[in-house]
Structure 1
Amino acid sequence: MRDHDADVIIAGAGMAGTTLALALASAGIRPLLVDPQPFDAQLAPTFDGRSSAIAYSSFRQWRAVGAGEALAPHAQRIEQILVTDGKTPGAAARAPSPFFLRFDSSEIADRSEGEPLGYLIENRQIRAALAQTAIEKGVEVRAPAGAAGLAVDAAGATVTLTDGSALSAPLVVSAEGRNGVLRKAAGIGDIGWGYGQSGVVATLKMEHPHQGVAHEYFLPSGPFAILPLTDNRASLVWTESTERGEALRRASPEAFHAHLMRRFGEFLGAVELAGPVFVYPLSLSLAERLVAPRLALIGDAAHGVHPIAGQGLNLGLKDAAALAEVVAEAMRNGEDIGAEATLERYARWRRFDNVTNALAFDGFVRLFSNDNPLLRLARGVGMAAVNRIAPARRFFMHEAGGGVGDLPKLLRGVAI
């Protein structure tokens, strides 16, 4: 039998990849992370200006793998979500018409065990906490050294790195993102399309307390969200056309602030930028397959979705939890963890959920980034109906919190 460098090589030490490494390590499996960027570079304020909405089930997973304590100081509880459809910023707070929707964590406290609707955490803080935990747990990391090639045979897989070295393992995982080398090397294509939109992202400092309330407005150009962060700050996620997004990125701070206030209103008092403005193109990308010989895809390597529902990272964390559970069970049973039968169990578990969510988010984009009067009326009536039907509200809250469906153990807070 060939001597391997690790049980599982994970290409991509981002949030999904490092979470998978911690999950595997918690089950006594030897992961090895490789990434073109060392952890220190990923923690720079200019590396990633986004924040992520984290489902309460995803946070349970982080607690289960030992990262919860490092993340807790940076995790803002989301207690309410106020959604409105219209052209008037601040409308959700005032509920001026029947066309609004309010979610409150108190309605699901019995099933969520007191968890909030979710947590809002800056990506750089997530990366820092996961990196700290990985180091504490002794996870091996090779960086800077990205994947450059992949070769597989009956005995295992060999990953060639950009520094010229090679590593072998029974199983390789691509957590490299949408344009990963390993997915292409395995001949896995993807389908998808752009939306002609960009997400304009910034961190804001608020004058009045946000009280853990997330505000989302569906405006003609697309969703506009103000999401609560710790220290009375908020994450701005502002969807605009690609052209207008670039114009906002180039705008002076004074001009940007003026445009922001016209959309945001003043119901939370004065607002000021607390950092740089970032602009990200928005598109859909779905891998045609989740697995290939001795290779599995997780996170954005498997599915890149529009941020309209704030679920992109949660899908990737669910991938990590499912794959870790399948691999741990296979290893306990003495199976080859990179065998086709093992990987197909993972693919069956995640395929339907990933595709249906991606297509649902795509439908939301087309429905809510639209100023057609009939569509506006239809979606407004739909929101009002959900707001008045308590079981429907609770279902959507549990779904957003990751509490629905065939959940991996880690998402239930159970060790593997």
Structure 2
Amino acid sequence: MIDVLIAGGGYVGLSLAVSIKKAAPHLAVSLIDGAPGDAWKKDERASAIIAAASQMLDVLGIWSEIEPEAEPIRRMVITDSKTADPVRPVFLTFEDEAVEGRPFAHMVPNVALVGALRKAADNLGVEIRQSTAAAGFKSGAHSVSVALANGETIEARLLVACDGVRSKLRDAAGIKTVDFDYGQSGIVTTVEHERPHDGTAEEHFLPAGPFATLPLKNNRSSLVWTERTRDADRLIASDDLVFEEELERRFGHKLGTLKVVGGRRAFPLGLTLARDFIAPRFALAGDAAHGIHPISGQGLNLGFKDVAALAETIVDADRLGLDIGSLAVLERYQSWRRFDTFRMGLTTDVLNRLFSNDITPVRALRDFGLGIVDRLPSVKSFFIRQASGLGGQSEPKLLGGQPI
């Protein structure tokens, strides 16, 4: 019988498998991934990895492999304007390090991140079953029976669903969600520019939603461009000339001539929060437990927090001789993560509603607030430590750079 079966071969599923197996090599850990074996190699996106998450990856032994591909974010600039405004006043700037010698975040290509995690999982003896997914499961007193799409059945002590925001396993477990559609889509692409970005990330609050530029290596930037869904669909379907013209209106000319060098895709944006993170012999992690607006850049990092908490819960229970799939054990994980997740979901929801509009009194109020924060170093330091994931007193060991 397998000890832990993980459904989902993205960064959450892989990092959970590596975290458990590294701390408890005797546990049998398997991962099933419905995507083809080389699908991850085609992902052109990049993700923001906060300082706490990079510490966790360092403990797992893979940050040294990822770091050469990572671009540190050394400065964050926030502006608030209309698309047609000739000048975009800067209301808030963060220029600080979360801990000595460590930037508060890095931008990492998804291919580098997933590739390093897959290599680590393979070296640790994690079994990865590719091109098949979980079709359903049934929990018993001592194990969970998981039916695969290829007709196989696997018995495990614990099933963890890391199968995305539209998790079929979450639905099969009968776990309800809180859902809200923002009527927005996030356009993701990569651009190349003439001048260096100097490690600066910018977030422009525009009436349709935030337009974020995030630094990559070799004079490139990753874009997360929020638009109303109908406009995003139009932009994705437009020819290159129209797309680049609209992009330039939002990006500006400070970094010289722009060129789109990656594919462009649009993702619908909404809020999805699972009411429960656990069921008998079952747990949710990553987007299966929460999908939030990208306005704070914390979606991926919430997943890493889930991983650190769940891995520590499982390993500690195993060391004590407890049943790792029991509700009594899994309740620790749920209590650890559910409040933080709901708090972050609420925060991003309020920020999106506050900044994705062009109501003059609201703009004046929010700009005044940003200006006040910019003039209070202690407040700015608090916010940057929170954003880096280093502000909590009861974070899991991995996020604090300690092995389980």
TM over 0.5: yes
Cα 1:67/1:336, change in 2 over 3 Å = same
Q: Which amino acid is 1:414 matched to?
A: Q
Identity across matched positions, percent: 43
Q: CA deviation at 1:217?
A: 0.4
| Partner SS for 1:132 | helix
* Residues in 2 aligned to 1:334 and 1:183: alpha-carbon distance in whole angstroms: 28
- Per the alignment, residue 66 of structure 2 pairs with 71
* Residues in 2 aligned to 1:159 and 1:69: alpha-carbon distance in whole angstroms: 36
| Partner SS for 2:79 | strand
- Per the alignment, residue 411 of structure 1 pairs with 399
Task: Give yes or no for contact 1:70–1:133 (8 Å, CA) kept in 2.
Answer: no
- Per the alignment, residue 20 of structure 1 pairs with 16
* Residues in 2 aligned to 1:378 and 1:15: alpha-carbon distance in whole angstroms: 39
C-alpha deviations, 1:273-309, integer Å up to 9, x for none? 1121111111110111000000010000000001000
**Alignment partner for residue 28 of structure 2, among 5, 30, 38?**
30
Task: Give yes or no for contact 1:158–1:167 (8 Å, CA) kept in 2.
Answer: yes
Task: Give yes or no for contact 1:49–1:278 (8 Å, CA) kept in 2.
Answer: no
**Alignment partner for residue 55 of structure 2, among 50, 57, 60?**
60
* Residues in 2 aligned to 1:299 and 1:40: alpha-carbon distance in whole angstroms: 22
* Residues in 2 aligned to 1:250 and 1:223: alpha-carbon distance in whole angstroms: 21
Q: CA deviation at 1:70?
A: 2.3
1:213 aligns with 2:200: yes
Q: CA deviation at 1:88?
A: 5.8
1:396 aligns with 2:383: yes
* Residues in 1 aligned to 2:147 and 2:276: alpha-carbon distance in whole angstroms: 22
Q: Which amino acid is 2:324 matched to?
A: I
Q: CA deviation at 1:89?
A: 8.1
1:319 aligns with 2:314: no
Q: CA deviation at 1:125?
A: 2.5
Q: Which amino acid is 1:104 matched to?
A: E
* Residues in 2 aligned to 1:403 and 1:385: alpha-carbon distance in whole angstroms: 23
Q: Which amino acid is 2:274 matched to?
A: A
Q: CA deviation at 1:90?
A: 9.9
Cα 1:90/1:19, change in 2 over 3 Å = farther
* Residues in 2 aligned to 1:30 and 1:395: alpha-carbon distance in whole angstroms: 41
| Partner SS for 1:346 | helix
- Per the alignment, residue 272 of structure 2 pairs with 285
* Residues in 2 aligned to 1:39 and 1:64: alpha-carbon distance in whole angstroms: 27
| Partner SS for 1:385 | helix
What TM-score does the superposition give when structure 2 sets the normalisation length? 0.96
| Partner SS for 1:7 | strand
- Per the alignment, residue 265 of structure 1 pairs with 252
1:11 aligns with 2:7: yes
- Per the alignment, residue 46 of structure 2 pairs with 51
C-alpha deviations, 1:297-348, integer Å up to 9, x for none? 0000000001000000100110000000011100000000001110001000
Task: Give yes or no for contact 1:214–1:226 (8 Å, CA) kept in 2.
Answer: yes
Question: Number of residues paired by the alignment?
Answer: 401
* Residues in 1 aligned to 2:70 and 2:122: alpha-carbon distance in whole angstroms: 21
* Residues in 2 aligned to 1:88 and 1:365: alpha-carbon distance in whole angstroms: 17
Q: CA deviation at 1:69?
A: 2.2
Structure 2: segments with no counterpart, 5+ residues: none
